[in-house]
A and B are shown apart, each in its own frame.
Chain A
Amino acid sequence: MTSTQKLAERPRTFVYDRAERRLAVRMVAPSLILMFLVAAVPIGYAIWLSLHQYSVRQAGLSRFVGLDNYLDALSSGAWWSAFGQTFTFTAASVSLELVLGTAMALLLNMTFRGRGLLRTLVLLPYAILTVVSAITWQTMFEPTLGLVTTVLRGLGLPGGDIVWLGESGYAMAVIVLADVWKTAPFVALLVLAGLQVIPDEVYEAAELDGSTKWTTFVNITLPLLKPAIVLAAIFRTMDALRVFDLPFVLTRGANGTESMSMLAYTELRENRLVGEGSALSILTFLTVMAVSVIYIRFAGGNIRAAAQEKQ
């Protein structure tokens, strides 16, 4: 390679480099500006609203109250019970979804007749409206016409007279069930994608070493699946913490099923308390963000490792 060639090449790549960076900024900027307008501005305004108290009777009348709305919320039983119920829901539904989703993924990874059909079937609940899934489970647990009541009564089993959505523990259980039904397929698909990248040689080696199926699963499959499962756990947790549709349709937040989002919505829309409702929304926002920071802090390494493996 002669020196003249080198000289001729250098400015060319340099120009492309700069053009590329400039183009990158221009291509990203519209999205960032739009996201700033539809995400950062509203949240900033919500903080502003939450620092004021608004007259319910007279529109436009407000006064600055500082952090009073937050202090009121944090010292109220309503916030903490919604907080507790949201985390109960999240813990129960996410752990069930992870177990069931992983089991479904293991099934879907086997070869048998009808696997394609099963794959399609498990995907169906994922695609329907959450509101419809709530209604579906409402029909299952209706006191008179529900399938559960009908079957329990028909078989003469106890529990035929329970009003499932009308009692504290049961109402939460139905909501968890509706969520698991709808989103376990999502976990299954993520885990299945993780299963499919495990090379067959790993299993062959384990078999040669005389490992039983269970030890292979615990010592090889599960550790290799960990990144996929952790990722599914993060996605599901962030989603479960903002649960709204299911309690809205099934109980309207009654019987121990009020989520943080439900409580803020009720204050804002039904009670017309703009300041209080905004404070509750910001508290919900901060809670969800805190959980995501904790997740990234403890599981971030996993995700990065998974990302690097793929590259």
Chain B
Amino acid sequence: MSTVLDERRAAAQASPRPRLTRKPLRRGESRLHPLTWFFVLAVMAFSLVPFYWLINTSLKAGASLGAGELFPSQPTLDNYLVVFRNPDFFLALRNSVIIAVVTTAVALVFASFAAYALARLKMKRKALLLTLILSVTTFPAIAIAAPMFSIWREIGLYDTLIGLIIPKLTFALPLAIYTLTSFFREIPKELEESAYIDGASPFLAFRKVILPLAVPGLATTAILVFISVWNEFLLAVTLTTSPESRPVPVAIAFFNGTSEYDQPIGAISAASVLITIPLVILVLVCQKRIVAGMTAGAVKG
């Protein structure tokens, strides 16, 4: 069953780039103009230098922090030890993982049904519904955070993980529906039609035929939703106050050094580096998926 998709993917991958050949692909540009090389290097520098400086700062402690050396003369892992000795850092990691995993899972379950109906089934006012769903993703989070702050404090969900998961769904769910809808649209319509002819009900066709084919799309959507929930800051900072429920972005923003005399920027940089490593690995491994997901909804409308 998956061969159709595999073939499409293989065809898509094979056609646009014969990599090692020196022949030009477009507009006869096989060799780059020196000026273009300059731009390539400039873009690389712009992307990488700030990362380098963050790492550089995280490796300095004490006097060398303020010395402004391009390369740390006495690199030290002290800042990393400070982070590892801070129990709040691990609490925040745990909180973030729970919040992001649960939110993503709930959003994906709800969204896979809704997106399938919006992409494939006959339905009234489909365009209006999609517009409505998309418009929710542009809501400023403060308009949700402000009332939630009051509601949660009244009913005791303030500063709890569940109290953070629920409002995060406000943005995770429409994002998931929107991205998944464009993935469902790509699956050939003939597959359901043949399932109908074999006597399957529309729901059985969805569950047995379409859903298995949509696994790559579901995975991509899960990655995008996970990153966006992980990254979200305003709801997190408004609705939590203690280390027991603070997720990573808030914990880092409020991170302190060991003592008041310490320049916390070293430790903050170290915590930032540590928290960025898994995301960098995720991007390296899932690069193609992430790009496909980010552009799928956009280009296909």
**Which residues of A are interface residues toward B (Cβ below 8 A)?**
16-17, 19-21, 23-25, 27-28, 30-32, 34-35, 38-39, 42-43, 45-46, 49, 103-104, 107, 109-112, 114, 118-133, 135-140, 142, 144-147, 149-150, 153-154, 181, 185-186, 189-190, 192-194, 196-197, 200, 203, 207, 213, 216, 228, 231-232, 235, 238-239, 241-242, 244-245, 248-249, 260-261, 264-265, 268-269, 274, 277-278, 280-282, 284-285, 288-289, 292, 303-304, 306-308, 310-311
- SS class, residues of chain B in contact with chain A: helix
Given the interface pairs A107-B39, A120-B284, the reply to whether A136 lies near B169 with Cβ below 8 Å is no
Measured between beta carbons, the chain B residues less than 8 angstroms from A46 are 143, 146-147
Bound-state Cα–Cα, A112 to B25, Å: 10
- Inter-chain contact A136/B142, CB cutoff 8 Å: no
**Complex A-B, nearest 5 residue pairs according to Cβ-Cβ distance, in ascending order:** A307-B301, A31-B114, A150-B68, A24-B121, A242-B140
Residues on B with C-beta less than 8 A from A110 are: 26, 29, 32, 36
On whether the beta carbons of B43 and A35 are closer than 8 Å, the reply is: no
Q: Which residues of B contact A194 (CB under 8 A)?
A: 299
Bound CA span A285–B142, Å: 8
Q: Tell me whether A16 and B196 are in contact (CB under 8 A).
A: yes
- Residue contact B50 to A30, C-beta cutoff 8 Å: no
Cβ–Cβ contact B276 & A20, under 8 A: no
Binary contact readout B283-300 vs A (1 if CB under 8 angstroms, 0 otherwise): 110010011001100111
C-alpha gap A67/B189 in the complex (Å): 53
What residues of chain A lie closer than 8 Å to B8, measured between beta carbons?
A: none
Complex: how many Å from CA A129 to CA B282? 13
User: In this assembly, does B87 line the interface, its C-beta being within 8 Å of a C-beta of chain A?
Assistant: no
A107 near B272 with CB under 8 A, answer no
- A292-B283 contact given A21-B121, A118-B44, CB 8 Å threshold: no
In the complex, the answer to whether B169 meets A38 with C-beta atoms within 8 Å is yes
**CA of A24 to CA of B117 in the docked complex: distance in angstroms?**
5
Query: Chain A contacts of B123 at CB under 8 A?
Result: 21, 24-25, 28
Chain A CB within 8 A of B13 CB? no
Residues of A with C-beta under 8 A to B202:
16, 19-20, 23
How many chain B residues touch A (Cβ–Cβ < 8 Å)?
A: 103
Report yes or no: A120 in contact with B283, Cβ–Cβ below 8 A. Answer: yes
Q: Which residue of A lies closest to B273 (CB)?
A: A132
Of listed B39, B146, B167, B231, residue having the most chain A CB within 10 A: B146
Q: B166 within 8 Å of A by Cβ?
A: yes
Q: How far is the CB of B88 from chain A (nearest CB, A)?
A: 15
Report the separation of the CA atoms of residues A241 and B140 in the bound assembly, to the nearest whole angstrom. 8
User: Is B227 an interface position by the 8 A CB rule?
Assistant: yes
How far is it, in angstroms, between the C-alpha of A53 and the C-alpha of B88 when the chains are bound? Answer: 36
Listed by A's residue number, 11 A-B pairs whose Cβ atoms lie within 8 Å are A24-B117, A27-B114, A120-B283, A120-B287, A122-B47, A123-B290, A131-B253, A132-B252, A154-B68, A244-B233, A284-B143
B174 CB-CB contact with A under 8 Å = yes
Instruction: Given A38-B170, A123-B290, check contact A142 B265 (CB 8 Å).
Output: yes
> How far does the alpha carbon of A16 sit from the alpha carbon of B198 in the complex, in Å?
13
User: With contacts A35-B133, A196-B16, A197-B299 known, what are 13 further pairs, Cβ within 8 A?
Assistant: A30-B110, A42-B167, A43-B139, A110-B26, A112-B32, A122-B43, A150-B69, A193-B295, A238-B138, A242-B141, A242-B234, A260-B142, A310-B299
On whether the beta carbons of A136 and B140 are closer than 8 Å, the reply is no
Residues of B contacting A304 in the complex (Cβ-Cβ under 8 angstroms): 301
Task: Tell me the minimal C-beta distance from A42 to chain B in angstroms.
Answer: 4
Say which residue of B46, B54, B170, B279 sits within 8 Å of A127 (CB atoms): B279
Cα distance A27–B129 when bound, in Å? 13
Is B144 an interface residue, CB under 8 A from the partner? yes
Instruction: Kindly list chain A residues whose C-beta atoms are within 8 Å of the C-beta of B17.
Output: 111
